[in-house]
Amino acid sequence: MQKSKIGLDFGKVARARKTAAGIAAQTQKFEERYTTVAVERTLCRLVGVDGVNDAGVPLPNVLVDSVKERGVLSEGVLFFLGNAIVETGLPPQEIAEKVAAGKLEITDIAPRETAQTRAALQPYIDATVEHIKQRRAKRENYIKTLGEGAQPYIYVIVATGNIYEDVVQAQAAARQGADIIAVIRTTGQSLLDYVPYGATTEGFGGTYATQENFRIMRRALDEVSEELGRYVRLCNYCSGLCMPEIAAMGALEGLDVMLNDALYGILFRDINMQRTLVDQFMSRVINGFAGVIINTGEDNYLTTADAVEEAHTVLASDFINEQLALLAGLPEEQMGLGHAFEIDPDLENGFLLELAQAQMTREIFPRAPLKYMPPTKFMTGNIFKGHLQDALFNVVGIWTGQGIQLLGMPTEAIHTPFMSDRYLAIENARYIFNNMRGIGDEVEFCEGGIVRRRVREVLDKTVSLLERIEGEGLFAALEKGLFADVKRAKDGGKGLGGVVAKGANYCNPFIEIMIKVC
C-alpha cells in the first residue's frame, strides 16, 4: 500500500476513481456512436491527403465537405475513398485533387464489398502507422543515446508569430536549460474549422499550428538536442475545432507533448460539447499510439473561479480526464494532468494550501507526469514580486515531484518574453530544483495541521461532486457550470462547430489498430 505524507484516504481516492470511471463510461457510450467533420478530415490526412485547392482550402476539408453536402457523412469518408480507389486505381491524394478540381464525385461511385475497399485502403493505413512508429522510435532513441533533463521538465513558451523567429527563440531557450519548448498558437486558431497549410510568418500572440511549422521546429530542436547532448521536447496544441487533425499532424512530425482537453474547449472557447468530446477521443487514441504526453486544462479553471472554494473541481476534472484517456488507450505515463492553485500573495497560509493541493494530486496520480502551472491570476505589475511568486511555485513543484513545470517569468504576458527574462526564470528553477531535490522524501505533514485538513476537505468535496456528476451526466454538469463557474448549453446545442453525425467512429481502422497497440 502506498504511504501518504499527507494522510490521504486511499479508500476515498478509489471511490472517486470508480465514480469518474462511471462518468467516462457514460460519455464513451455517446462518443462511440458518432463521428464529426474533424474526425473524418483526420482520417483523410492519415491515408495521405494533404495540400490545398486553388482557393487555399485544405484538401481534407474539400473531401469531407463534399460528403457532408450529400448528407452521407455518417457513412464515413473512408467508405467513399475506398470505393474511389477501387474504381479509379488512384491513391487518396490524387482522388482528393480530382474532387477539388470538380472532376470526380466520390459519393456517386457504386459501392464495393467492404473487404475490397478495406484491402484498397490498407496499404495507406499501414504506411501511416509505420511512419508514426518510426517517429516514436526516433524520439526513444534520442532519449536513450542523448538523455534528457530531470523532472520536473522545465517548460517554456515561444510565440513570435513567425516560425523562423520561433526557431531562434526555441534554440536559445534550449541552450539556457529548457527541456520542453511550447509553441503557442496564434490567437483564435482553436476556433478555425480547418488547419492552415505551410510555413507561416504572421501570427498574433502566437504562431499558426501547421504541419510544416511542426516539421521546421522539430528539425531545429533535433539540431540543438544533438549540440547539447540532451533531448529537447516539442509541445503544441491539439485542442479546439481541429483537435484530432492536429494530433495526427503532430504524430507524423514527431511532437512530444500536446495540450489536449475537450473540457477546456467547451468552457473557455464555447465549442459544441458533443463534437469536441468525440474529437477528443480520436485525438487521444493518436497521441497514445505516438507516445505523446498530453497536457489537460484544469489549471485554467481557477482563472475564472475562486481557488480556495473551487479547488475540488480541478481534482474532479483530473479524475474524469484520467478515465477518458484510459478509454482512448492513453497510458498513465502520458497523462500530463493539469493543476494549480493560483497562490494569492495576500492569502494567509496560501503556500500551504497550494502545497496540499499539489502533494495530493501527486499521490493520487503517481505515474502521471503532472503539468504544474504558475500562479498567473495574482501577478501584478511588480515584476520583482512576481519573480518571488514564481520561486514559491518552483519550490512546490520540486517538493511535490511534479513532472512538467511551466515557468512563470517577468514578461510572460507578451508570450515571447525577453530572452534575459527567460534566462532568469530558468536560472530560478534550476537553482531551486538542484538545492531542494530531496525535500519531498524528507518531510511529512503533521496530523491535524493545515495541510492534512485541507487535503481531507478537498477530497471530500471532490467525491461529492463526482457522485453528483455521475448521477446527472457530464453534459448536464457542464450546463450547470460545475467547472470554472462557466455554464454551457445543454447537449452542446449552441456551441461552436456544429453537430455530430451518427457514424461508426469507434470502428474506424486507425482506432482499431492504435488502441490494440496501446
113 backbone φψ class: left, alpha, beta (φ>0; ψ -120 to 50): beta
- The Cα–Cα gap between 435 and 431 comes to 6
Give yes or no for a contact between 191 and 241, defined as CB atoms under 8 angstroms apart: yes
Phi-psi region of 321 (alpha: psi -120 to 50; beta: other; left: phi over 0): alpha
Report the distance separating Cα 443 and Cα 452, nearest Å.
Answer: 13
CB atoms under 10 Å from CB of 408, counted, come to: 22
The active-site residue out of 264, 279, 344, 390 is 264
Q: What angle do CA 386, 388, 390 make, to 5 degrees?
A: 70
Residues near 406 by beta carbon (within 8 Å), at least 6 away in sequence: 155, 156, 157, 182, 371, 372, 373, 374
Catalytic residue among 261, 299, 318, 390: 299
> Can you give the three-state secondary structure of 3-14, one letter per residue?
CCCCCCCHHHHH
List Cα–Cα distances, 70 to 6, 74, 105, 305, in angstroms. 59, 11, 10, 44
Q: Take residue 458 and report the three cell numbers written for it.
A: 478537498
Active site residue 371: yes
Distance CA 62, CA 459 (A): 48
Would you call 54 helix, strand, or coil by DSSP? Answer: coil
Whether 408 and 383 have beta carbons less than 8 Å apart is answered as: no
CB 451 within 8 A of CB 356: yes
Q: How far apart are CA 422 and CA 194, in angstroms?
A: 33
Q: Under a CB-based contact definition with an 8 Å cutoff, are residues 392 and 379 in contact?
A: no
| Catalytic, out of 34, 371, 372, 390 | 371
| 264 belongs to the catalytic site | yes
299 noted as active-site residue: yes
Phi-psi region of 73 (alpha: psi -120 to 50; beta: other; left: phi over 0): alpha
Q: How many CB atoms lie within 10 A of CB 115?
A: 8
- C-alpha 199/C-alpha 197 separation (Å) is 7
Task: Please return the burial class of 446, using the count of CB atoms within 10 Å of its CB with bins 0-12, 13-18 and 19+.
Answer: exposed
Retrieve residue 475's grid coordinates.
453534459
CB 246 within 8 A of CB 236: yes
Catalytic residues: 264, 299, 371
